[in-house]
Amino acid sequence: MKNKRDLILSAILLIVLFGASWFANSELDSYIRRIVNLCLIYAIIGLSMNVTNGFAGQFSLGQAGFMAIGAYTVGIFTVPVELRANVFYAVPMNPFIADIQMPVWLALIVGGLLAALVAFLIGTPVLRLRGDYLAIATLGFSEIIRICITNASSFTNGALGIKDIPPLNDVRYIFVVTAITFVFIAALINSSYGRAFKAIREDEIAAEAMGINLYKHKCLAFMISAFFAGIGGGLYGTLLGTVDPKNFLFTLTYNFLLIIVLGGMGSITGSMLGAIIVTAGLEYLRIFDEPLKLFGTMIPLFRPGFRMVMFSALLMACVLFWRHGIMGTREITWSKLIAFCKNPIGFFKRKGAAQ
């Protein structure tokens, strides 16, 4: 049975990776841990964005707004009560929430649910739009969220931001959340819902003719996407230990758009790959920021900021030559991996012939 084999292999991989995260947490320095965590968090948000944009084919740019909801929920409810007067020094915290303190996991879930609720509310009118119009509407929505946060000072501390969120630079914790997200979304995509999403992506009229409830499925995809974006945003907040509205400018959404486009719209493993390449790759490119001495002379091009030039050039090359991202809509599956291990050269030849 192929399915059974894949399931067992996946379970083994998860356990091995969890072991690796345990190792990473105790053995590696805080810089590497931070990069690993950032990769994982960006992978969660990339995955969530892929549900609407890649699988259901609805071009939404509201991710920064959903992240903001999650991050602020965690920010507001996890700051220790005795530190709150210090943080809210301009406008005192609203007495309704001033004494509520939650553990991080609960705040994460509440943040995710809140994001999903908001997604439901705005999804009802907005998901009737298609293509560019939906993109503009969701972009506008994420700006609305940010401006609400800026002005609701007694809840969010306005532009001053929230500090002293208990820091969470724990690879195990974040790995477990990422694993749950991955498994959930992989299972969703392979269920009848996932097939309905893909049908909607390919052709809405045909999908509707086949008896798929367009509104229900679009809304579901949007809410699930918002839920995980909220969780990802919450983790982002705890990793940094501080949140402020300027974090969640619409440009943040483009970060994740970049990740899913690079990884492949409509590929779960592609999103994971994209998140790792963009985050770790950008850190890795710091070698271009450091001064370089070649044959005793300083090369003036190697100065802080040069890596961004290199990064952009690499991106352009990638997009030119892999027009559908690295993975396209394909996935890394166990059968492909096994075929690759058996015959590494033949694997690529066969694929080349199939194209």
Partner 1 sequence: MKKMMSVILASALAVGLLTGCGGDTKKDDAKSNVIKIGVFLPLTGDNAAGGELELRGIKLANKLHPEVLGKKVELVIADNKSDKAEAASVAARLIERDKVKVLLGSYGSSLSMAAGNIVKNSKVPAIGTSCTNPQVTANNDFYFRACFIDPFQGTVMANYAFKNGARKVAIIQEVSNDYAVGLAKFFKDAFIKLAGPDSIIEVANYQTGDKDFSAILTNIKAMHPDAIFAPGNFTESALLIKQARQLGIKAPFLGGDTWETQEFINVGGADVEGVAFSTAFDREKATTAEAKKFLDEYVKEYKGEPSALSALAYDAYLIAIDGIKRANSTDSVKIRDAIATTKDMEGVTGKTTLDKNGDPIKGAVIKTVRDGKFKYIDFVDVK
Kindly tell me which of 19 and 304 has the beta carbon lying closer to partner 1.
304
Residue 328 as a binder of partner 1 (CB under 8 A): the answer is no
**H helical segments located in 28-91:** 30-50, 63-78, 84-87
161 touching partner 1, by CB under 8 A: yes
Q: Please give the Cα distance from 244 to 117 (Å, whole number).
A: 22
Distance CA 289, CA 282 (A): 11
* Angle formed at CA 245 by CA 134 and CA 32, multiple of 5 degrees: 100
**Under the criterion CB under 8 A, does residue 147 sit at the interface with partner 1?**
yes
Q: What is the contact mask toward partner 1 in residues 54 to 83, using x (rule: CB under 8 A)?
A: -----------------------------x
Task: Using the minimum distance from each CB to partner 1, give the nearer residue, 140 or 158.
Answer: 158
Give the tokens for residue 259.
Answer: 């990740």
Name the CA dihedral angle for 152, 164, 281, 67, rounded to a multiple of 10 degrees.
-30
> What is the x/- site pattern for partner 1, positions 298-327, by CB under 8 A?
------xx-xx-----x--x---x------
CA atoms of 239 and 259, how far apart (whole Å): 20
How many residues belong to the site for partner 1 (CB under 8 A)? 44
Task: Output b/e per residue, 39-77; b: 16+ Cβ within 10 A.
Answer: bbbbbbbbbbbbbbbbbbbbbbbbbbbbbbbbbbbbbbb
Q: Which stretch binds partner 1 (CB under 8 A): 34-42, 97-105, 194-202, 334-342?
A: 34-42
DSSP one-letter code for 275? H
Q: Does position 246 bind partner 1 by CB under 8 A?
A: yes
x/- contact string, 169-208, with partner 1 (CB under 8 A)? Answer: ----------------------------------------
29 touching partner 1, by CB under 8 A = yes
User: Does residue number 100 form part of the binding site for partner 1 (CB under 8 A)?
Assistant: no
| Candidate ranges 51-59, 122-130, 179-187, 234-242; the one touching partner 1 (CB under 8 A) | 234-242
Q: Interface with partner 1 includes 34 (CB under 8 A)?
A: yes
Cα angle: 269, vertex 274, 277; to 5 degrees:
125
Question: Exposed, middle or buried: residue 29 (CB in 10 Å: 0-12, 13-18, 19+)?
Answer: exposed
Kindly state whether residue 31 participates in binding partner 1, applying the rule CB under 8 A: yes
Footprint of partner 1 (CB under 8 A): 29-32, 34-35, 38, 83, 86-87, 89-90, 147, 150-151, 158-161, 163-164, 167, 236, 239-242, 244-247, 283-284, 286-287, 289-290, 304-305, 307-308, 314, 317, 321
